[in-house]
Amino acid sequence: MKKIVQPLLEWFETHQRELPWRKDRQPYHVWVSEIMLQQTRIEAVKKYYARFMEELPDIRSLSQVSEDRLLKLWEGLGYYSRAKNLKKAAQTVMEEYNGEFPHSYEEIIKLSGIGEYTAGAIASVCFNEKVTAVDGNVLRVMARLSGSRENVLLPQTKEKFKKELQKIMPEQSGRFNEALMELGETVCLPNGSPLCRECPLAEYCVSCRDGLTAEIPVRIKNIRRKKEEKTVLILYCNGRIAIEKRLRKGLLSGMYQFPNFEGFCTEEELKAEFQPLKVLFLGKAKHIFTHIDWYMQGYCLEIAEPLKEYLWVTPQELTENYALPTAFQPFWKKCHSLPDSFIE
């Protein structure tokens, strides 16, 4: 393993991508980018990162932003608890560290929403602390290098690789961690399709040597998924759309949504309940969360009088000011695209 350090660092110097958060490696920039990159591809994150930094350029502004505005800036990234934890952590930094981001792994990991990987990435990249930062990309690289058939989703497998990396961690810890992640993102690709001819570590890789890259890493999931059926309504009245705020706890907490009901309602049931002037069926959609799958059908209903239990906003206000979960976006887009739609 010691032999991989130098060729990896040399490769990174010439092959690293130009990313906005790498320009200065300030803790705030690295922190926000790492949180955004959880469950999200780099190319998709770039535009969100730029918009976020334009409006919230520092820890103080993040600590003071309203939750509605924060969620609107985060709209489209999903996993909205990440954004809420960002603000909570920013408030902690302002209150307990006088606005200066903590410098050590042990202090960083105490902040809301920051786990071992993110703490290791910030501590090593920004403060050159000799700690590991092991994400899915690094696990894949390590499994293929060693030819390991251990399940990389198990905590003990991750701990094993962390210990191996800690033993060879160079003084340039941040560069080394970034290089491993970069290699996993751009060369040691998933799904059995790595670019081994471009890999600086190919001569040390057991999987490359033995033709095992399609079989390694081993990922065995054991998740029981819950399925929920929902009817989603876009209620329209006098040029405004009905929305409501979700509860403070649970899935998509604190976000705005279209009214929706458990189960699949028929058009006849909706007519009896709302007595709409017009009804349009918007089709079906599916959205996958971590442990829940939503199976949805949508309707657009024009009604004569606004119902008091909802907040009524214009389409422009909905687009500009309210964070709408990605799960509901297909129905909103479909409503706009219908030729005879009554949504202006």
User: 153: Cβ–Cβ under 8 A, 6 or more apart, which residues?
Assistant: 219, 220, 221
Q: Which residues contact 47 (CB under 8 A, 6 or more apart)?
A: none
Domain count of the fold of the chain? 2
Q: Assess if residue 344 is contained within a domain.
A: no
219 assigned to some structural domain: no
Report pTM. Answer: 0.76
**CATH number, domain containing residue 18:** 1.10.340.30
Same domain, 200 and 303: no
Each residue of 205-221: pLDDT tens digit? 999 999 999 999 998 87
With 0-12 CB in 10 A as exposed, 13-18 as middle and 19+ as buried, what is 341?
A: middle
Which of 10, 13, 18, 34 is flagged as catalytic?
A: 34
Q: Are 163 and 275 within one domain?
A: no
Question: What are the pLDDT digits (tens) for 281-308?
Answer: 999 999 988 788 999 999 999 999 999 9
241 sits in the region (left: phi over 0; alpha: psi -120 to 50; else beta) called beta
The CATH number that applies at residue 315 is 3.90.79.10
Q: Is 283 helix (H, G, I), strand (E, B) or coil?
A: strand
Residue with tokens 């790492």: 34
For residue 338, is pLDDT > 70?
A: no
- Residue 30 in any domain: the answer is yes
Alpha-carbon distance values, 226 to 81, 221, 234 (Å): 20, 15, 25
Look at residues 94, 122, 116 and name the one whose alpha carbon lies nearest to residue 31.
Answer: 122
Phi, psi of 106 (to 5 degrees): -65, -35
**What separation in angstroms does the CA of 249 have from each of 74, 230, 246, 254, 264?**
18, 19, 8, 8, 24
Q: In the listed set 146, 180, 210, which residue is the last one of a domain according to the structure?
A: 210
Kindly state whether residue 220 falls inside one of the protein's structural domains. no
3-state secondary structure (DSSP) of residue 243 = strand
179-206 per-position pLDDT tens digit: 999 999 999 998 878 999 999 999 999 9
Residue 252 included in any domain: yes
Q: Establish if 182 belongs to a structural domain.
A: yes
Whole-angstrom Cα distance, residue 214 to residue 193? 7
pLDDT score recorded for residue 224? 75
Q: Which residue is it, tokens 């959609």?
A: 285
Identify the residue with better confidence: 69 or 246. 69
Please tell me whether residues 177 and 248 are part of one structural domain: no
Range of the domain at 73: 2-210
Exposure of 149 in the CB half-sphere (CA atoms within 13 A): 3
Let me know if 268 is a catalytic residue: no
User: How many Å apart are CA 7 and CA 5, to the nearest integer?
Assistant: 6
The DSSP secondary structure of 127-156, one letter per residue, reads H--------HHHHHHHHHHHT--SBTTSHH
Same domain, 235 and 327: yes
Same domain, 85 and 179: yes
Looking at the fold, whether 121 and 200 belong to one and the same domain comes out as: yes
Place of tokens 């991989």: 4
- 113-139 pLDDT, tens digit each: 999 999 999 999 999 999 999 999 999
